[in-house]
Amino acid sequence: MTTTGRLAAIAFFIMFVASSQAGAESVLLVSSKDNTLYEDDFGNTSNGAGQYFFAGRTSQGLIRRGLIAFDLASSICAGSTIQSVTLTLHVSRARGPEVEVDVHSLLADWGEGASMGVGEEGMGAPAAPGDATWLHTFYDTDFWIQVGGDFSPTVSSSAAVSSPGFYTFDSTFDPQLLSDVQGWLDSPAVNFGWLVKVSDEFFPMSAKQFDTRENLDPTFQPALMVVYSPGC
């Protein structure tokens, strides 16, 4: 689908959903921050300013996990009721077989620093101050309780990812996704976003490359569509 076609399709879908739910409004948000956790015993690797984040196991046997968050409070007033949520991610590179990619709500805040990987960014870059790493929530002073990120064991939503393209995580099929967003809107202090990981991280060569908010093509940036009944 062309860029123009995708934008038109999103706009039509928003209008359709909003019109089908009495009194509903909708907003399309781009991620407010995103990053990658690169498996690293020293916690020195990140990619806060990169165009990509990664999830899965590399050909070298190292795990990658993505981090992504959205600023709800600036666009949706407090007291609103969330009716539906759709998270859209674009995969720009996908070696290996089809794998299940899951999103889990994060349990701690984390950072997006100025680090930027070179080339395809798969190896990351030296972590910059404030970056999230395999060991740190904010490099190099604050730490995850569990290495590799603190996240809920409950899968909020999942998608089967194979080739490059757009993938959606939808609350119609995964109500936990809606529950996450409602909880973050009600309690903004615990809005830490989602961790994106391959379900079976021991599966060899399963790493997938996702586009971030820094990607040069705005249509590839992570997007969250929220339909809600205003509370103000």
Q: Which of 72, 93, 69, 94 minimizes the C-alpha distance to 27?
A: 72
- pLDDT tens for each residue of the chain, 232 residues long: 444 444 444 444 444 444 445 589 999 999 999 999 999 999 999 999 999 999 999 999 999 999 999 999 999 999 999 999 999 999 999 988 999 999 999 999 999 999 999 999 999 999 999 999 999 999 999 999 999 999 999 999 999 999 999 999 999 999 999 999 999 999 999 999 999 999 999 999 999 999 999 999 999 999 999 999 999 8
What pLDDT does residue 3 have? Answer: 41
What pLDDT does residue 1 have? Answer: 45
Distances (CA, A) of 15 to 8, 31, 223: 11, 21, 16
Q: CB–CB of 132/214 below 8 Å? A: no
**Separation CA 53–CA 49 (nearest Å):** 10
What pLDDT does residue 215 have? Answer: 96
Helix (H, G, I), strand (E, B) or coil at 69: strand
DSSP 19: H
What pLDDT does residue 17 have? Answer: 45
